[in-house]
Structure 1
């Protein structure tokens, strides 16, 4: 093994140590990383946390087993727009690293990233409307960013794949634990041109907090904006809208033939209070996306 290979493995292990430590102490790790750099931070964390190196090495081994890679801020693939999450006005922090799997490249998403998120229990209209819209914008080069859940997210991915478009799925679980399990085949298709992304080690399971926490990553990667076809009044989708608003991403809601439907109540609310703009067709959306860039 040559010295460059040894150095690269040491670099990856250091970042894996940092990434695992950040799961429980994100703020402290971010401060340590800023002060000491990745090498110094990894060494300090190793000294103070018994067993951390072994667990981090296991994460790298598990990632290799499922064909995943660790993307770090010093990598050409690192999405630079994630740094917006470190702005004090946003009241958050960017991921320290990301696990990724797929042929796609995160870096180019930038201004071409368009989030499509919404209700899991969507109506038939709620599923059909984003399919047509997403297929149109994906065919024109937008990278569709979503969480991969049932309902709206799944429709957006189906539409993207139908036009050979590229998608980024930000998961609330590790990439070795597919959630929802029934979308396993769909996610595999996504990896052909796109990428699955997670902050969490390969076999970590999702938690309620992680579903909400990943919304900030979806919003950050969606450089051109966010589309919400349907959302309940208390849905996690409105949390994603909040992140998009904080990051100054334009948010667009779609109309519905049944304004009184509970699945559209969240859209009505974000239109009424100015958190989102109503768009009625693909052309309007494209104009809105252009204005937001």
Structure 2
């Protein structure tokens, strides 16, 4: 095998990683390339250089997921939230839905390192998670007599939790469709984008749509995606990813115990 053959093989591996639905388990060629990456340091370096040429980085190689790539700021292959959600008012709520999906799919930190873990998540449950936290925060603000109205002329400063509760979860348009502004529609959009990228697969239409996670999603959440979403949400005034097995924040504003576990606006009243 010549050096040109090695270059072609490295480029082939990057191409397979960028093709939806490709995995070492479904492709003998891909499985062989994964083995070469694991056993031939020079070939692994060549793959990294090919990826670098596309302004991509190699996160890791996994026997089930294959070559896991991450985008850089310079790459033309990145998809921004602005591209996915043109409506600026919907963007932070869409990111909130992604955080809730990740939280329910991986309720414990050890799930992110478990190759056997498969998260099963539905539109209804994700929407319910966000509403449960939002409702508690609304009650807390009311009990503390806090003015939660945004300044005049600055509706974008409204707390995300309140903005989410203002939306109906579902409904029907004149054409018998779910309105785009409904929170079910925003959560469904998040799931659709994950499915298009091979991160989840639809398993049924129950509860507004039920999905199972793939290994690739777990690796991205563990290594990169969750951190990036948290950074974007931090700029929008949202604190932390909730722990799904943690108790909801207390309804009593005098009890601060679960504040650190929720998707809380930075402006939420402290107690």
**Greater radius of gyration (CA):** 2
Q: How does the TM-score come out when normalised to structure 2?
A: 0.32
Q: How does the TM-score come out when normalised to structure 1?
A: 0.30
